[in-house]
Amino acid sequence: MTDSTNTAGPLPTPTLHAENGVLTLEGLPLTQIAEQFGTPTYVYSKAALTSAFEAWRQALSGRKALVCYAVKANSNLGILSVFAQLGAGFDIVSGGELARVLAAGGRADRVVFPIALRVNPDVDPKTHPYISTGLKGNKFGVAFADAQSLYRRAAALPNLHIAGIACHIGSQLLDPAPVAEAAQKLADLVDRLAIDGIVLEHIDLGGGLGIRYRDETPPSVAQYLAPLLKVFEGRKEELCFEPGRSLVGNAGLLLTRIEYLKPGETKNFAIVDAAMNDLARPALYDAWHEVVEVVGREVPTQAYDIVGPICESGDFLARGRELAVAEGDLLAILSAGAYGMTMSSNYNTRPRAAEVIVDGEQAHLVRARESVSALFADEKPLG
């Protein structure tokens, strides 16, 4: 995919390309979206969401398997409705997420919130420590050594039907080997439980497949699943998967406008109208997001730290980026579809961004921008 703007390589967001020097998502220039809906705005591609889901469905073709979108990655009703229409299941972590799924047209019988034991397989996922969940030092799951005895206890309790087992070792996984290792440990445990007379109906292997943010080379869905599926070849249990980031991460971007360029002695700052409350990942994880100019300019590039107007030194979206820009220009912060809007806040009493889904040449507002007055509508001064 070619692009005339200042990027180091192919754009990670599918369906994003440059036309006459202007970045376009599917068939719609980002300049038009900014003019219609303002900034900052999260913008998602329906075509990218669809193709990402189809990659999972095709990789599992012929298997007894259910792909359940992990709602915590992005819980907008517009996003959920796209996946519901594609026949996805949903992985939820709260009653609030269940309400969202149902409001978006999702089926309750395809929602994963079952009574099952999540087993911690003590497998190193080789990812960021904050998103590692499958080591014995993590808070998630029951200890692998205790799992069989816990299942025996559960099976002996009245009015309980033990249906499945689950594990999830972490997020942004780029190597299939740890997942396959966890799968083998889980399969062996399921076989031992069967000897005890505890026959499980489904095995939930979580999600975790990573995406390209910068220079990562994640495997395709088929490559990621191949060694894992080999472990379960010929088995009768239904397999459940819970991808989140790999379905929405590179389907979305954060559109923002440069308010002010501030030169400094040691570095230059591009102060934009988005901030750490809109996209927390850089401040939280020191995460990298590709940043590109929406309209190409024939001016020399300079290195900028891209920062917001929040009163925190941690309010940055990117550091040391070479950009050819002027005040008032638009920037696209890429790979922002996962854990962007869902982790946003109203810090500094800032209204959260609007959200838009692009479908071909049509833009659909799927969340209106918040107003300041709405932020304190439920509050009351004392006295």
Catalytic residues: 311
β-partners of residue 173 are 209
CA angle 125, 130, 133 (to 5 degrees): 45
Are 183 and 137 in contact, with CB atoms under 8 Å apart? no
The two three-digit tokens of residue 125, written as one number:
């996922």
Give the DSSP per-residue string, 197-260: T---SEEE----B---SSS--PPPHHHHHHHHHHHTTT--SEEEE---HHHHGGGEEEEEEEEE
The Cα 331–Cα 209 span in angstroms is 27
- Residue 138 Cα distances to 70, 130, 175, 241, angstroms: 20, 10, 20, 21
The Cα 114–Cα 240 span in angstroms is 12
Alpha helices in 265-353 (DSSP H): 281-285
Give the DSSP per-residue string, 332-365: EE-S-SSSSGGG---GGGPPPPEEEEEETTEEEE
Q: E strand or H helix at 182, and its extent? A: helix 176-195
CA 243, distance to chain mean position in Å, is: 8
Give the DSSP per-residue string, 45-65: EHHHHHHHHHHHHHHTTTSSE
The closest of 40, 80, 16 to 252, measured between CA atoms, is 16
The Cα 207–Cα 246 span in angstroms is 9
